[in-house]
Amino acid sequence: MERLSSNSTRSSRPIILGLAGVLFFLLVWQLIPALGILNPAYFPNATDTLAQLAKDLGTGALWKDIGYTLIAWGLGLAMATIGAIIFGTVIGLVPFLRRATHTTIEFLRPIPSVALIPVAILVYGLRLEAALLIIVYASFWQVFVQVLYGVADVDSVARDTARSFGLSRSQRFRSLVFPTALPYLITGVRLAAAVALILTITAQMFIGVPGIGRSIIFAQQGANWVQVYALIVVTGILGLLVNIGFRAIERRVLHWHESVRGEELL
Amino acid sequence: MKKALAAAFTAAAVATLAACTSTPEPTTSAPPNTSPTDTAAPQETFDVRVAALPIAETGALWAAIDEGIFEKHGINIEIVPAQGGAQAIPALLSGDIQFAIGQPFGPFRADAQDLGVVIIGDYADSLATGKDVNAVVALNSSGIDGAADLAGKNVSVNSLGAAGDVTIMKAVEDAGGDPKSVKFVEVAFPEVAAQLDAGNIDAGWAPDPFMSMVAGGEGHIVVHPYQATIPGLSVLTNITLQDTIDNNPQLVAQYSAAMKEALEWASANEDAVRAALVTNLEIPEEAAAGITLPTFTFDLSVENLQTLAGLAVGYGVLEAEPNFDRMIQQQ
């Protein structure tokens, strides 16, 4: 009985800590304009911003923006992940290809996706496809590099064992390469999900496709700062939900893996 | 699972391919819907995408669309908000949009690169007298009272190497200051007031509502650079491609007729323009009522643009004057 209660306090502790962190953050935010550290005319306090957010949540416009943002994010992340799995697996498993592409990959990977916005517009115009190019480019590398190292990380003893047991190529892939690469892949996708969300908002801001990013620019042009920060809070909450979601998937898919056992949620 | 993955990949590949192949050639942009409208109008109906900045001036367009002026001319118009000419011209070249409303410096620079970008008409002019549509503003405590005081100071413009810094340099020179000593930095219009307050800039160039926010608060208007140097200078123009003019003259003619009527209507119906700002840009009603609106007109003053280009060459902002004969084709 005693053990049970100590267990439940332990599991609720991270949630309490998480809430305390949020409250502390809101308090600091409230104080920054109140103490005049930033001019309240340009940096609204937390209560005004959250009140505006509550008002927005009652209108269809914000939900539409959230919908547009999630669609662009989801499409971009899916395309990046599928592409990265295919290219990562093929290149990662063939040492020749890995050596041949290494320099090119290290050249392309650090190029900031935002720098490609003019190219994206030149190719696709002011459309969702242009935004997707930016999103996919940024998030692809996150998954690709993880898959690349994941498929190459097979334990040599396990590989020799599999070989001596006469496992076929497809058997080896299924029971050796796939389980080895899976934790890498999941980590890559979780990182890519956050990157894709950031680039979705950025693309909406600078390409003008509908969504939260475009509404932020509109609110800025209307000098409506409370609205600007309300929308920024929405992007933060989306990011948090995305992260929680992917951590939950990670725990479920990799419940057997040592990296997951003993990890806490928030 | 494998099947689903394969299906998903095929879908993605098809989508990518379709997107690639559908990248329109400039010559095939805006396929006309050849069926005539029911209202027995002699014209064709065109689906048109127009890039416009999400700023107060675009209020005229939103209001005119609601008024049905473009529809009447067979133009089924969609406004695409673009962030400045840097985005609008690549979008024109991609064929995704057929027209753009932008500052004349975009075509100036495009002409230098032979991109075939053409100004087909005016959109909005600054005001020759009174409170102009934009101004250099500074805080009252800055000690900057006139254009000459800007010499040696940090002054912001929304984008370097365009009409803002060129006319400000000219205004400083005319007032007896050294135009080359002004240190220009890029600050987006909405940020000007906050950057002034923070002391990061000494003065900043901004249109309404930001100009009036500073001037109505702890700051004042230093100079209206357009009015002081080229009164009535065009703020925004209608831009398209030479290809569109050559291959789709009917579209350009109908669009121009619609735009001309829209701008005439807008200048006579300022209340409707302000109302459109409240709904489209979510500018609070009081702020929208105080915004200085430009002169909306389709008739371009070529001399003003030539003066601007001449100044830009003089200050080294442009390497050479654009070829006005091919760049400006008033419709």
Output the tens digit of pLDDT for each of chain B's 331 residues.
444 444 444 444 444 444 443 433 334 444 444 444 444 446 789 999 999 988 889 999 999 999 999 999 999 999 998 876 578 889 999 999 999 999 999 999 999 999 999 999 999 999 999 999 999 999 999 999 999 999 999 999 998 989 999 999 999 999 999 999 999 999 999 899 999 988 999 999 999 889 988 998 889 999 999 999 999 999 999 999 999 999 999 999 999 999 999 999 999 999 999 999 888 887 788 888 889 999 999 999 999 999 999 999 999 999 999 999 999 998 8
Taking an 8 Å cut-off on Cβ atoms, the answer to whether B282 and A222 are in contact is: yes
How many angstroms separate the CA atoms of A94 and A104, rounded?
Answer: 16
Region A75-80 average pLDDT: 97
For residues B245 and A8, the model is more confident at B245
Region A235-253 average pLDDT: 91
| DSSP letter for each residue of A24-55 | HHHHHHHHHHHTTSS-TTTS--HHHHHHHHHH
Q: What is the pLDDT of residue B74?
A: 93
Whether residue A20 has pLDDT greater than 60: yes
Q: What's the whole-model pTM score?
A: 0.81
- Using CA atoms of B198, B201, B206, B210 in order, give the dihedral in degrees to the nearest 10: 10
Q: Give the confidence band of A262 by pLDDT, cuts at 50, 70, 90.
A: low
Taking an 8 Å cut-off on Cβ atoms, the answer to whether B12 and A82 are in contact is: yes
Q: What is the pLDDT of residue B3?
A: 44
Question: What do you get for the CA distance between the two ends of chain B, in Å?
Answer: 59
Question: What do you get for the CA distance between the two ends of chain A, in Å?
Answer: 26
Taking an 8 Å cut-off on Cβ atoms, the answer to whether A122 and B55 are in contact is: no
Paired tokens of B286:
């009081």
Q: What is the pLDDT of residue A38?
A: 83
Q: Which residues contact B141 (CB under 8 A, 6 or more apart)?
A: B218
Angstroms from B39 CA to nearest CA on chain A: 32
Mutate to test the interface with B, among A221, A224, A226, A228 (most CBs of B within 10 A): A221
Give yes or no for a contact between B204 and B137, defined as CB atoms under 8 angstroms apart. yes
Q: What is the pLDDT of residue A63?
A: 95
Size of interface A-B (CB pairs under 8 A): 95
- A115 at B interface, C-beta within 8 A: no
Minimum-distance CB partner of A218 among B16, B97, B281: B281
Angstroms from A76 CA to nearest CA on chain B: 10
Q: Which residue in chain B has the smallest CA separation from A227? A: B282
pLDDT digits (tens, 9 = 90+) for A118-172: 899 999 999 999 999 999 999 999 999 999 999 988 888 888 888 888 888 888 8
Paired tokens of A62:
């914000």
The secondary structure of residue B45, as a DSSP letter, is: B
How many angstroms separate the CA atoms of B203 and B137, rounded?
Answer: 6
Taking an 8 Å cut-off on Cβ atoms, the answer to whether B284 and A41 are in contact is: no
Q: Which residues in chain B are contacts of A220 at CB distance < 8 A?
A: 188, 190
Percent of chain A with pLDDT over 90: 59
Taking an 8 Å cut-off on Cβ atoms, the answer to whether B12 and A78 are in contact is: yes
Q: What is the pLDDT of residue A226?
A: 92
Whether the bond into B31 is cis, omega within 30 of 0: no
pLDDT digits (tens, 9 = 90+) for A79-93: 999 999 999 999 998
Q: Give the confidence band of A175 by pLDDT, cuts at 50, 70, 90.
A: confident
One-letter amino acid identity for B212? S
Q: How many CA atoms lie within 13 A of B130 on its CB side?
A: 7
Q: Give the CA distances from residue B166 to residues A16, B205, B328, in Å, rounded to whole numbers and listed in that order.
A: 58, 12, 20
Q: Which residues in chain A are contacts of B91 at CB distance < 8 A?
A: 121-122, 125-126
Angstroms from A56 CA to nearest CA on chain B: 13
Q: What is the pLDDT of residue B85?
A: 57
Q: Give the confidence band of A11 by pLDDT, cuts at 50, 70, 90.
A: low
CA angle at B43 for the pair B41 and B48, rounded to the nearest 5° = 120
Paired tokens of B51:
């890039």
Q: Which residue in chain A has the smallest CA separation from B282? A: A222
Q: Which residues in chain A are contacts of B197 at CB distance < 8 A?
A: 39, 42
Minimum-distance CB partner of B281 among A205, A208, A222: A222
